[in-house]
Structure 1
Amino acid sequence: MDGKKTEQAAALSARAFTIPGTESRLMYSRTGKREYQIFVSKPSEDPPPAGYPVIYLLDANSVFGTMAEAIRVQSRRPEKTGVIPAVIVGIGYQTEAPFSPARHCDFTLPLPDSELPSRPGGTPWPEQGGAEDFLTFIEEEVKPEIERDYQIDTSRQTIFGHSLGGLFVLQVLFTKPDAFQTYIAGSPSIHWNKRFIHKESRQFGDRVSREKLNVNVMLAAGELEKSHKSRINDHAKELSEQLSSLAGYGVRTQFHEFEGEGHISVLPVLISRALRFALHPAGPNL
């Protein structure tokens, strides 16, 4: 085969790979004035009468593919894996990088500069404090569009976030617990706004003692994160123990520490466990 034919053959064989059942679209937030890349994974199976459960996934540029493939494989045999088919809605950014600096704004509440943890290298952090706008975008723009285009069971909605995304998940749990039924916070950056989390978790406890909820909460971290000065594991475990005391009021909680995993390497095993937690055929696997 001559050189020209070899190049043509290579061009024909080297095609972009797309995960089956997935698509992406752009959405512009009216409140946050920011454009987002929205990734969606839809099951090949027909929806059940109530519609598909749905997982809203933060930092989708980094983990959407991992979750989409995990559920595509595991949901084929729910009786064996404990994972039923579900729609995944990944909220990401217009970037090829796994993480966008815009997440710092979207996942955090306003915080005085004096309370921010120091950044390695001493450089300033990106813009902070847009979490309320971001939640409004999810609730008033993303969810209605997804529910228009897919058959969704609105009684089985999960939100999944890691690191600062995990902090955002907890902020939503404590301030608007009826937005989702299942909350998954991996390696949550509680240290970022510890004062707020402690205050809101106490108020949350007072609220559920008067007004019974029906929520499921999973907190998790990698074993190797124990050595981090931010005490991610300790904070997450302490919070899980506090929330576990509310089991009689409809707050069901799990904590997992994954052996041998660090802050980033924990993501694949966390995703696999989260799917079993959120998508068990009989309901959240507690």
Structure 2
Amino acid sequence: MFKKYFLLFVTLLGITTSALAQQTNKQFVLNNTEIIPIHSKITGRDHELVVVYPSSYKTNPTKKYPVLYYLDAYWDTPLLVSTYGNLIYDNQVPEFIMVGLSYPSTADYGKERRIDYTFTAVDEKSGKANLFLDFIQKEVAPLVEAQYRGEKTDRVIAGNSLGGLLTLIAAYQAPGFFSGYIALSPAVEWDKQALVKVDSHYAKKHKALNGRMFISYGTTEYPAFRDPIIDFQKQLAARKYQGLELLNYAMEGLDHTGIKGDGYVRGLIWVWKPKKPAGPSGLERDMTSAK
């Protein structure tokens, strides 16, 4: 009898302890963020926007901010939130709103991004970048600028891999809409390097390609993926387009996704270099005030 009640007591204790743990343990939440569902009439599909507000957003209700439109938000939002905070503390970039392009949590991200981020069709589930760029220009940006105080004249687009490919094609297919481009390990090899052909065709008719552009790759990436990026960097630099401020960058010893940390830091500094705030870094301010 004692054994039976003892076992019952232990079981109840376990349940109680588990229940308390569920009540008291909290999940880590990213502050100043909001997920906005949006159905696109242009793509015909459901999307989500992950909006990250600067810390002064609520205390400056009339202020407008530059906007970073970044791809693959379902993966890269935590990294970019942290990166943004570090750069703000170091006084390297101005305050800006981040708008991450995402999909509902039930979506297959790999399939969705392949549809939206590629500009030539190799099968029925690719090649819709023109529609996705229209979605950003005609549905997302107007919403952000009308309701969330985004600037109309200072937009930056950023992405990695296929997201980097879309970032670069945006310079050719949406000229003048973005002022900055951050392409991390862009998939230049897509469809037999179709991007190279786009640039070659563009160069025959245009002498200008406006914007500040950052293109990077990791030196240990798979050569068949890496080498086309290197060749495209050289081709673009040789064009000497008017209005293009280009920074080509190689990240020693890093592979395809490991480049994101350093890449976003350097890319954001580069595209907003003309708007770098005056004054000391946070560390200098802290150390000076402590004396």
Gaps of 5+ in 1: 114-125
Matching residue within 262, 275, 280 for 1:282: 275
1:156-167 map, 5 Å: 156-167=154-165
Per-residue deviation, residues 176-211 of structure 1 (Å, max 9, x unmatched): 2212011111111111134532222123334442xx
Partner of 2:215: 219
Equivalent residues of 1:162, 1:188 under 8 A apart = yes
2:216 is the alignment partner of 1:229: no
Equivalent residues of 1:58, 1:165 under 8 A apart = yes
How far the C-alpha of 1:241 sits from its partner, in A, is: 2.5
Aligned partners of 1:213, 1:264: CA distance in 2, in Å? 28
2:172 maps to a residue whose letter is: F
- Equivalent residue of 1:179, what SS? coil
Partner of 2:244: 251
Aligned partners of 2:62, 2:203: CA distance in 1, in Å? 35
- Equivalent residue of 1:229, what SS? helix
Matching residue within 6, 21, 27 for 2:38: 27
Equivalent residues of 2:122, 2:191 under 8 A apart = no
Equivalent residues of 2:70, 2:98 under 8 A apart = yes
Equivalent residues of 1:41, 1:68 under 8 A apart = yes
Equivalent residues of 1:26, 1:35 under 8 A apart = yes
1:168-179 map, 5 Å: 168-179=166-177
- Equivalent residue of 1:185, what SS? strand
Q: Residues 33 and 214 of structure 1: is their aligned pair in 2 closer, same or farther, counting only changes over 3 Å?
A: same
2:190 is the alignment partner of 1:192: yes
Q: RMSD of the alignment, in Å?
A: 2.6
Aligned partners of 1:96, 1:257: CA distance in 2, in Å? 36
Per-residue deviation, residues 35-64 of structure 1 (Å, max 9, x unmatched): 112101010125698721111011111101
How far the C-alpha of 1:155 sits from its partner, in A, is: 2.0
The TM-score normalised by the length of structure 1 is 0.83
- Say how many residue pairs are matched: 264
Equivalent residues of 1:36, 1:94 under 8 A apart = yes
Matching residue within 4, 14, 17 for 2:28: 17
2:112 is the alignment partner of 1:102: yes
Aligned partners of 1:197, 1:67: CA distance in 2, in Å? 27
The TM-score normalised by the length of structure 2 is 0.81
Partner of 2:9: none
Aligned partners of 2:209, 2:62: CA distance in 1, in Å? 25
How far the C-alpha of 1:245 sits from its partner, in A, is: 3.5
How far the C-alpha of 1:112 sits from its partner, in A, is: 4.2
Aligned partners of 2:101, 2:218: CA distance in 1, in Å? 24
Q: Residues 139 and 189 of structure 1: is their aligned pair in 2 closer, same or farther, counting only changes over 3 Å?
A: same
Partner of 1:131: 129
Equivalent residues of 2:50, 2:101 under 8 A apart = yes
Aligned partners of 1:92, 1:197: CA distance in 2, in Å? 24
How far the C-alpha of 1:252 sits from its partner, in A, is: 1.0
More deviation, 8-17/145-154: 8-17
- Equivalent residue of 1:153, what SS? strand
Equivalent residues of 1:167, 1:188 under 8 A apart = yes
Equivalent residues of 2:182, 2:268 under 8 A apart = no
Partner of 2:96: 86
- Equivalent residue of 2:132, what SS? helix
How far the C-alpha of 1:4 sits from its partner, in A, is: 5.4
Gaps of 5+ in 2: 1-12, 277-291
Matching residue within 75, 79, 98 for 1:66: 79
Partner of 1:123: none
Equivalent residues of 1:106, 1:134 under 8 A apart = yes
How far the C-alpha of 1:243 sits from its partner, in A, is: 2.4
Q: Residues 159 and 206 of structure 1: is their aligned pair in 2 closer, same or farther, counting only changes over 3 Å?
A: same
Q: Residues 261 and 98 of structure 1: is their aligned pair in 2 closer, same or farther, counting only changes over 3 Å?
A: farther
